[in-house]
Amino acid sequence: MAAPDRSTAEPDPATAVRGRRRTAVLVGLLAAAHALLTPATSAAQEPVGSCAWQFRSDSTVLDIAFPDVDATYWVLPYALAPGDSIELHGTYPAARYFSLNTYGTNFDTVDTLRDAQIAPDPGSGNPFADAAAEGLPASARRWSATVVTGPADHARNEIGALPTGGSPTAPAGFLIVRVYVPDDPASPTGGVPLPDVTLHQGGRAVPVPTCSSDFDPADYGSGPVERAAEAAVDRIVEGAASGAFPGNNPEATFVSPATTSGLFPNGDNKYIGSVLTYQPGRILVVRGKAPTFPDTRAGEPVTTPGRQVRYWSMCQNDQVTPYPVVACAADFETATDAEGWFTYVVAAPQDVPARATADPTVTVLPWGSTEVPKKTLLYRNMLPADAFYPQSVQAAQGGDPAATMGPYYPRAAYCDTATFEAGGYAACLP
């Protein structure tokens, strides 16, 4: 199969519209969190908002903090006082991965509860933990979980919210549902509804309806408070992203991030990254051995034995606020040669070598806007198997990934277009 060619995925006239949409959604998200922190004026105030899952983040709407193109994120702001909880009832999606995640207002992880950890309801099966449940109808793939303020017991399908520390104040945070690589690309939720939400507060159980399909966070205002909230979010993300790959890192070399705090990190993913700058006629060439994975888009079960990781991807990102993604090639979208090695060419359209687009073992990733001074190319590994762990990105955190990952370390080098045209990747990589 010919390699995917993303070399034309440059900013288009819709970019400005997406930018305005991103601003509106971000304003709404922060306005909701601000409302939750505001002292209640009546008993009717909803600590999880007027409807559930108001906010969706992906590469086109709320594109911040280096998201993965093959994942979608649904956000529920919350503020839980001691003893409060949020009850969730859902259906396991038909997808590569899903998880429940809680975050503070500093966008750092509080807790993660992933698909295979969530025990099914009585009479149901979990296809992420049991291959026999793979073909069950949605009605037999049900689960329940609870967001709690005290110590969370994952064995009881509990996930921790922000701890209250015994204070009567209800700290605001965010609950996020992640879905990666749905079997049906047209259904980001994996072919199932978003989880039902019930708030338990003061001995009362209050169902929170899911937002209707015509709910639009863009309806939020854009006054001084909202603009200040948006600026505050940008400052958090700016500080986190600039700290992840500081300027003293060598270019065109994958290194471990100093931190991912403040970037809504997924506890099941780890990353290495390379900082890049553009020069006309220059491309980046990346080569490494691809970990094996369950190709769910091709019909393989998530539980397929012998796979080295649940998921991996290579993503090009802008290293400028709000740190959006340019494009990704997920594992199933990445071309490999007969020995399982990948080769990426990251280039602006005018610099892409014809040899790269003609080679079925090369994947072309777009550079993105050449006006953005720096880029960050991120390589993700998700949930490595025990046998593969020593060569995974996870094992390389805080150290030198080139020293531990062996052939799975993505070697990278700048190269002239003409050099690649004459000799392929071998002429570019030492």
| 224-250 pLDDT per residue, tens | 444 544 555 555 555 555 555 555 678
| 167-183 pLDDT per residue, tens | 555 567 888 899 999 99
Q: What is the pLDDT of residue 240?
A: 52
Of 189, 160, 162, the closest CA to residue 56 belongs to 189
| 26-76 pLDDT per residue, tens | 445 545 544 443 433 333 344 555 778 877 775 555 545 567 889 998 888
| 358-401 pLDDT per residue, tens | 999 999 999 999 999 889 999 999 999 999 999 999 999 888 99
Query: Does the pLDDT value for residue 160 go beyond 80?
Result: yes
Query: Which of the pair, 83 or 381, is modelled with greater confidence?
Result: 381
Q: What is the pLDDT of residue 82?
A: 84
Q: How confident is the model at residue 3 (pLDDT cuts 50, 70, 90)?
A: very low
Contacts of 329 (CB under 8 A, 6+ apart): 4, 6, 313, 314, 315, 344, 363, 365
Strands 196-201, 341-347: pairing is unpaired
Query: Does the pLDDT value for residue 223 go beyond 80?
Result: no
285-304 burial, b for 16+ CB within 10 Å, e for fewer? bbbbbbbbbbebbeeebbbe
Q: How many CA atoms lie within 13 A of 170 on its CB side?
A: 25
| 275-307 pLDDT per residue, tens | 999 999 999 999 999 999 999 999 999 999 999
Q: What is the pLDDT of residue 38?
A: 41
In order of their start, the domains of the chain are 14-224 (no CATH), 237-427 (2.60.120)
Q: What is the pLDDT of residue 103?
A: 83
Q: Is the dihedral of CA 367, 363, 276, 392 positive or negative?
A: positive
pTM of the model as a whole:
0.84
Q: CA-CA distance, 14 to 113, in Å (whole number)?
A: 36
| 8 A C-beta contact, residue 79 and residue 153 | no
Query: Does the pLDDT value for residue 211 go beyond 90?
Result: no
What spatial distance separates the first Cα and last Cα of the chain, rounded to whole Å?
Answer: 28
Q: What is the pLDDT of residue 325?
A: 85
Q: How confident is the model at residue 112 (pLDDT cuts 50, 70, 90)?
A: very high
Q: What is the pLDDT of residue 35?
A: 47
Return the SS3 of 32: helix
Q: How confident is the model at residue 213 (pLDDT cuts 50, 70, 90)?
A: low
